[in-house]
């Protein structure tokens, strides 16, 4: 029954407190040189700040960062500088960075325990991304400063960007895939309504792809689709978009463009394809049928409805070509 003895329980707490006090004394005995060695052993760029944001210590990674990225090497002279002021000088007074400085100041004044953010940085060796972390240093309940770290997250960020790109890009042609293309139309319609602008959708179907696949193989057919998408894309403006709906079906989204104005784009596209057909050493021509559908200011059509109208108009052109060939 000794486990329930309050005296024994109190004695156990006293032993723990004595042990904790002893550990704190040992920590206090660590020399500044040893503490610096601990900081230098870490690969992250680290700086220790006092409550006013003044740098009181940095590690080797922090000092070497500038030289490794094309700038002058930092040295122990960085100690004594106000980090918040240096941050503001480096990144300017934009709203995003003003908020960051306020958040870091909140850590130093005890308003929050930690602040993290990710940011891009243009460096001589190329663009990199970093993760900034500011963590409060505590002595009991009092904030005595903060540790700042800058971690290079470029590899992770590039992987994320590539993953996002692959999620919206058709792997065969490099243009938008069906899902991303339809989303682009929906967004463009919202913008057109807000700005009272026009929008034209062009549905394109390659005419002779089945002939190419049947007589020269699907590899040559895929090559034809890629060539068509590349030529059509080059005829567009930066504000326009192109997507592959699937198979040999391609969709053009012409922003701030009426159906009448879209014929100028189609003329540029036809000129590029004619040049390709004249130069290509293949026994067939790259030909296509198309249909147009327009959104005018005040229009009520949805993205799916515009695509459906353009699809039906494309089909009419394709059938008209077949009837002419039958007559000839």
Domain 169-322, what fold? Answer: Alpha-Beta Plaits (3.30.70)
Q: Which residues contact 244 (CB under 8 A, 6 or more apart)?
A: 170, 172, 173, 175, 176, 177, 178, 181, 225, 229, 250, 251
pTM over 0.85: no
Please check whether residue 136 is in contact with residue 146, taking contact to mean a CB–CB distance below 8 angstroms: yes
User: Would you state the pLDDT for residue 91?
Assistant: 76
User: Would you state the pLDDT for residue 116?
Assistant: 94
User: Would you state the pLDDT for residue 7?
Assistant: 39
User: Would you state the pLDDT for residue 34?
Assistant: 78
Domain spans of the chain? 34-158, 169-322
Please check whether residue 228 is in contact with residue 250, taking contact to mean a CB–CB distance below 8 angstroms: yes
Please check whether residue 42 is in contact with residue 59, taking contact to mean a CB–CB distance below 8 angstroms: yes
Please check whether residue 294 is in contact with residue 258, taking contact to mean a CB–CB distance below 8 angstroms: yes
Domain 34-158, what fold? Answer: Beta-Lactamase (3.30.450)
Give the closest residue to 291 by CA, choosing from 270, 269, 314, 312: 314
pLDDT means over runs of 10, the chain (328 residues): 47 50 53 78 86 91 71 58 86 82 93 91 81 92 91 88 85 94 94 94 94 92 94 93 95 96 95 91 88 92 95 95 73
Euclidean distance between CA atoms 89 and 85, whole angstroms: 6
């Amino acid at each position: 029954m000794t486990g329930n003895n309050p005296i024994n329980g109190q004695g156990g707490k006293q032993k723990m407190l004595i042990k904790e006090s002893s550990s704190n004394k040992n920590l206090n005995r660590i020399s500044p040189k040893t503490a610096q060695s601990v900081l230098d052993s870490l690969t992250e760029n680290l700086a220790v700040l006092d409550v006013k944001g003044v740098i009181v210590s940095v590690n080797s990674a922090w000092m070497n960062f500038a030289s490794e990225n094309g700038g002058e090497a930092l040295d122990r002279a960085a100690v004594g500088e106000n980090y918040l002021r240096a941050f503001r000088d480096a990144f300017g007074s934009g709203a995003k960075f003003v908020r960051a400085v306020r958040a870091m100041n909140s850590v130093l004044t005890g308003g929050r325990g930690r602040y993290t953010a990710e940011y891009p940085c243009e460096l001589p060796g190329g663009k990199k991304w970093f993760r900034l972390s500011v963590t409060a240093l505590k002595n009991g309940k009092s904030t005595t400063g903060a540790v700042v770290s800058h971690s290079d997250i470029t590899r992770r960020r590039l992987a994320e960007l590539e993953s996002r790109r692959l999620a919206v890009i058709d792997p065969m042609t490099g243009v938008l895939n069906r899902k991303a293309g339809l989303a682009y139309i929906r967004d463009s319609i919202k913008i057109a309504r807000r700005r009272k602008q026009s929008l034209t959708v062009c549905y394109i179907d390659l005419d002779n792809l089945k002939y190419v696949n049947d007589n020269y193989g699907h590899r040559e057919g895929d090559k034809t689709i890629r060539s068509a998408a590349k030529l059509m894309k080059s005829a567009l403006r930066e504000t326009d978009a192109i997507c592959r709906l699937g198979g040999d079906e391609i969709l053009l989204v012409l922003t701030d463009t009426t159906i009448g104005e879209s014929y100028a784009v189609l003329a540029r596209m036809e000129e590029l394809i004619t040049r390709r057909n004249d130069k290509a050493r293949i026994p067939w021509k790259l030909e296509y049928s198309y249909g147009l559908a327009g959104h005018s200011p005040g229009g009520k059509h949805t993205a799916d409805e515009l695509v459906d109208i353009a699809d039906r108009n494309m089909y009419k052109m394709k059938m008209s070509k077949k009837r002419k060939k039958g007559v000839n």
